[in-house]
Amino acid sequence: MALTAREWLLLPNEEQKRRQKELSSEECFKLRTLYSEIHLSEEDKRNMPRREREEFLHPRGKNKEGEEEFNSKAQEIFKRLSEEAKR
């Protein structure tokens, strides 16, 4: 299995240098574009809790339920704002 951009970001700097050739051109592109603003210190990488690390490596994608929940909450907020604006 090839190294992903997210996995590479969590490696210590020395290991990043050693393993950079394992990244595909697509993963390199992601590092330059999608993840260019992510800068983790060595301490952050070492002290990241396991759950947070897993969430970073495997983010939850959009799903129908999550999208519906978000839209429902957004409608409630807009409704309240509209009512407050009328006052």
| CB atoms closer than 10 angstroms to residue 56 | 15
pLDDT in tens, 24-77: 999 999 999 999 999 999 999 999 999 999 999 988 776 677 778 888 888 988
Amino acid at the residue 77: I
Residue 67 has a pLDDT of 78
Which band of pLDDT confidence, cut at 50, 70 and 90, is reported for residue 78? Answer: confident
Q: What is the DSSP letter of 58?
A: S
pTM above 0.85, yes or no: no
Euclidean distance between the first and the last CA atom of the chain, given in angstroms as a whole number? 60
Report d(CA 48, CA 54) in Å as an integer.
10
